[in-house]
Chains A and B, each alone.
Chain A
Amino acid sequence: MSRWLRRGAIALLVVALCWGLDRLFEAFLVEYAVRIVIFCGLNAILAVGLNLINGTTGQFSIGHAGFMAVGAYGGAYTVVQLETWLGPSLTALPTFAQQAVALTSGVLVGATVAAIAGFLVGVPSLRLRGDYLAIVTLGFGEIIRLLFNNSETFGGATGYSGGRPLGLTTYTSFFWVALWAVIVVTVVAHLTRSSYGRALRAIREDEIAAEAVGLPTTRLKVMAFVVSAAAAGIAGALFAHLQSAVRPDDFKLDRSVDMIVMIIVGGLGSVTGAVLGGIFVAVTLELFRQWAEYRLVAYALLLVVLMIVRPQGLLGTRELDLAAVGRWWRARRTGGAS
Chain B
Amino acid sequence: MVTFLQQLVNGLTVGAIYALIALGYTMVYGVLGLINFAHGEVFMVGTYVGIYAALALGYEAMRPEAFGPHQALVVMLAAMAGAAMLGLTIERLAYRPVRGAPRLTALITAIGVSLLLQNLGMLVFGADPESFPRIVVERVYDVGGVVVTNVKLLIVAIAIVLVVALELLVHRTWTGKAMRALSFNMGAARLMGIAVDRVIAQTFAIGSALAAAGGILFGLDQSKCDPQMGVLVGLKAFVAAVVGGIGNIRGAALGGLLIGVAEQMTAGYLSADYRDAITFVLLIGVLLLRPAGLLGTVRQEKV
Contacts and interface: CB of A to CB of B under 8 A. Distances in A.
B291 A307 contact: no
A307 B284 CA distance: 29
Contact of B281 (A143, A296, A300, A301): A143
Most chain-A Cβ atoms within 10 A of its Cβ — which of B34, B112, B274?
A: B112
Contact of B108 (A149, A294, A307): A307
B35 A131 contact: yes
B232 to A, nearest CB: 9
B287 A308 contact: no
Contact of A299 (B106, B115, B288): B115
Interface in A262-313: 264, 293-294, 296-297, 299-304, 307-308, 311
A150 B122 CA distance: 28
Interface stretch (A32-40, A122-130, A159-167, A319-327): A122-130
A132 interface: yes
Interface in B67-114: 94, 97-98, 101-109, 111-114
B120 interface: yes
Interface string A123-163: 01101101110111011101100110110000000000000
A29 interface: no
A220 interface: no
A260 B271 CA distance: 33
B56 interface: no
B288 A124 contact: yes
Contacts of A264: 108
B283 A139 contact: yes
Contact of B112 (A134, A140, A208, A303): A303
A256 B114 CA distance: 14
A31 to B, nearest CB: 30
B182 interface: no
Contact of A136 (B231, B273, B274, B284): B284
Contacts of A62: 111
B267 to A, nearest CB: 13
Contact of B113 (A131, A143, A208, A304): A304
B273 A146 contact: yes
Contacts of A135: 35, 238-239, 242, 283
A20 to B, nearest CB: 39
A139 B284 CA distance: 8
A262 B102 CA distance: 20
B191 interface: no
Contacts of B116: 297, 300-301, 304
Q: Report, as a range, how many residues of chain A touch the other chain.
A: 35 or more
Nearest to A253: B231
B130 interface: no
A308 B242 contact: no
Contacts of B279: 139
Interface residues of B, number: 46
A92 B133 CA distance: 64
Given A142-B277, A146-B274, A308-B97, A300 B112 contact: yes
A212 B242 CA distance: 29
B197 to A, nearest CB: 17
A199 B271 CA distance: 45
Interface in B38-77: none
B107 A293 contact: no
Nearest to A128: B287
Contacts of B115: 257, 296, 299-300, 303
Nearest to A127: B288
Contacts of B111: 62, 257, 260, 303
Nearest to A146: B277
Interface string A104-119: 0000000000000000
Given A303-B115, A311-B98, A208 B301 contact: yes
Contacts of B1: none
B143 interface: no
Given A140-B284, A142-B277, A304 B291 contact: no
Given A128-B287, A143-B277, A307-B105, 17 more contacts: A125-B284, A131-B35, A131-B107, A138-B235, A139-B283, A140-B280, A140-B284, A208-B301, A257-B111, A260-B108, A293-B119, A296-B115, A299-B115, A300-B115, A300-B119, A302-B112, A307-B112
Q: 8 tightest CB-CB pairs across the interface, nearest first?
A: A303-B112, A139-B280, A300-B116, A300-B115, A304-B112, A311-B105, A296-B119, A307-B109
22 contacts: A127-B288, A128-B291, A130-B107, A131-B107, A132-B242, A134-B35, A135-B35, A135-B283, A136-B284, A142-B277, A142-B280, A150-B271, A208-B303, A212-B303, A264-B108, A293-B122, A294-B123, A296-B115, A300-B112, A303-B109, A311-B98, A311-B108
Interface of A: 58, 60, 62, 124-125, 127-128, 130-132, 134-136, 138-140, 142-143, 146-147, 149-150, 208, 212, 253, 257, 260, 264, 293-294, 296-297, 299-304, 307-308, 311
